[in-house]
Amino acid sequence: MSDNITKGKMIKPENLVYTKSRVMTDNVTSYCPGCGHGTAHRIIAEVIEEMDIQSEIIGVAPVGCSVLMYDFLDLDIQQAAHGRAPAVATAIKRLMPEKFVFTYQDDGDLAAIGTAETIHACNRGENIMIVFINNGIYGMTGGQMAPTTLEGMKSSTSPYGRDVATMGNPLKMTDIVATLPGTYYVTRQSVQKPANVRKTKKAIRKALEYQKLNRGTCFIEIVSNCPSGWKMTPVESNKWMEDTMFPYYPLGDFKVPEED
Amino acid sequence: MAKVKGSIVVDIEKCKGCELCVYACPTQVIAMSPDVNVKGYHYAEDVNPDACTGCTNCAVVCPDGVITVYRMKV
């Protein structure tokens, strides 16, 4: 074989195998370098493009790093008060049942101020998809301790590490919602490696397919990193996440429908 | 047997230099450039383009979607 195939010969539309989804806007995301949010946005955009539902889907973004999601995804997106995304999504879905509805929330939002809304929306079995980004910290406001912060993990409000005797145990939201009868599909995934990204993308696709069939709440947790909040490089943060977060937040499906 | 060759194009000005693609690449095609883009980040570039198989791993992990991948049989 010849190695004299030049780059110019290869770069043609018919050879294209991967490019950013057209559901993403051209804006540069506001996320820090290496943040899993960007990857999560990208795969949601890809699934929406593959299913061709760009005009039929409504996202709900509450407060957190993802608050500016409407700038990055070319979709109808509604802002919600802190933690209230599942309640707003419930209203949207009930008023427009023909639309796909999803919420995109971080751990400081979904697992702290929004715990009640999340649990009740899941318990009612609202026909929405909840995407939960868990990085164990309040990233947007400067790395404060979140309910999901691990025992002994340092944050700006737990500088000596989280002490469970005074601060409680890290909250496993996905385990909790999996026990509720209203949820249909509950899974925990991550986006730090190509294989994980592909799996997470499949999970999002499945959740939206189930929503089309009116099956109930689909809950997807994505364990992610926060290089700035954890004060590590992106590569180090992913390694730390694999070594420290995954033993406490193991990846896998928590509730899989019987039809699979 | 037909061999597959790939090629990547990096949107330099949008790259934030997180280096995830460098570690995701199974054939060590990508390295960070010594130069910086307009935001001051060292951006990803294909320093070993002949080894690229177009597997898309780098593009799949890129949080900013700056990598476009092309692939053809030669």
ipTM value of the model?
0.92
Rounded Cα distance between A218 and A86, Å, is: 12
Q: Provide the CATH topology of domain B4-73.
A: Alpha-Beta Plaits (3.30.70)
Answer whether residue B5 shows pLDDT above 80.
yes
Could you report the per-residue pLDDT of A36-91, keeping only the tens digit for each? 999 999 999 999 999 999 999 999 999 989 888 999 999 999 999 999 999 999 99
Name chain B contacts of A194, Cβ cutoff 8 Å: 24, 56-57, 60-61
Question: Residue A199's closest chain B neighbor by CA?
Answer: B60
Q: Please state which CATH number belongs to domain A30-141+171-255.
A: 3.40.50.970
Q: What is the pLDDT of residue B11?
A: 94
pLDDT (0 to 100) of residue A174: 94
Radius of gyration, CA atoms only, chain A:
19
Residues A218, A202: contact at Cβ < 8 Å? no
Q: Does the pLDDT value for residue B20 go beyond 50? A: yes
* pLDDT reading at A121 higher than 60: yes
**What letters, b where the CB count within 10 A reaches 16 and e where it falls short, cover A220-250?**
bbbbbbbbbbbebebbebbeebbeebeeebe
Q: Which residue has the higher pLDDT, A2 or B5?
A: B5
Contacts of B66 in chain A (CB under 8 A): 20
* 3-state class (DSSP) for residue A131: strand
Q: Return the closest-CA partner of residue A49 out of A69, A20, A28, A15.
A: A20
Q: Is A4 on the interface with B (CB under 8 A)?
A: no
Q: How far is B34 from chain A (nearest CA, A)?
A: 17
Q: How far apart are CA A255 and CA A107, in angstroms?
A: 20
Where are the domains positioned within chain B? 4-73
Chain B's closest residue to A238, CA to CA, is B20
Pairing of strands A100-106, A129-134: parallel
Beta bridge partners of A220: A131, A187
Class of residue A28 by CB neighbours under 10 A (exposed 0-12, middle 13-18, buried 19+) = middle
Residue type at position A76:
D
Phi-psi region of B65 (alpha: psi -120 to 50; beta: other; left: phi over 0): left
Nearest CB to B7; choose among A10, A21, A29: A10
